[in-house]
Amino acid sequence: MNKKIGVIGIASALLLVLGGCGDKPAAAPDEGGISTPTVVSGADSSEEPAASASASPSLQPSEGETSPSPAPASATASPSESAVPSASAPAEEKQTQTISVYYTDQQMTVLKESKAPISFTKGDDKYTEAFKALQNSGSGDLISLWGKMELKSLKFENGQIVMDIHKPDEAQLGAGGESFALSALTKTLFQFPEVNSIELLVDGQKVESLMGHADLLHPMTRDNMAD
């Protein structure tokens, strides 16, 4: 009796299982002959996802707020706006002048006048160039009385030329030569009307005589050196 009841229970369970399997949907065959089960979603696939609840913040300022001011432009000037250095002053124009220069003959018996061109840019240069012309006659017939002297400095101020020379031993002359040398110097420099006096120094010192034969006046002027 008990065996019959157990067999009936098993049979009933099998019927229930077979009945449940009959309700399941059949799998749709794939192209390769393998069936793929159809998945049924609980939600309609045509529905679009809901929009995000969070909205991007507005770029416009709310009432009572002020928008930030733009950053000020840099105050530094660009290279093109920087100050351009001023051009250097133009060089002074060189002047040329023909002057009278005095030398002596080969026997040193007389002064002789000659003409020589000089070029200069300012007053001091004019008198320096005149003295240089006095040192070189450019002719074998004329002898310079100042050719072996060394000019250390020359300055013109308030109508006076102050010149400092160095006299080496070979520049020494006799009494006649010394007298001619001073006359040649004063005649050459006093031809410039603006020159009123000449202060001649030897190695920066006022000496009594240039070569030991004639007195050297301090300063030499147009009046005291007149022939």
pTM more than 0.85: no
CB 154 within 8 A of CB 162: yes
How confident is the model at residue 12, as a pLDDT? Answer: 60
User: 155, 150, 87: which is closest to 122 by C-alpha?
Assistant: 155
How confident is the model at residue 144, as a pLDDT? Answer: 97
How confident is the model at residue 226, as a pLDDT? Answer: 79
How confident is the model at residue 210, as a pLDDT? Answer: 96
CB 218 within 8 A of CB 182: no
pLDDT mean by block of 10 residues, the chain; 227 residues? 55 58 47 44 44 44 50 48 54 89 95 96 92 94 96 97 97 95 97 97 97 95 87
How confident is the model at residue 79, as a pLDDT? Answer: 47
CA dihedral (143, 145, 147, 152) in degrees, to 10, reads -160
How confident is the model at residue 8, as a pLDDT? Answer: 62
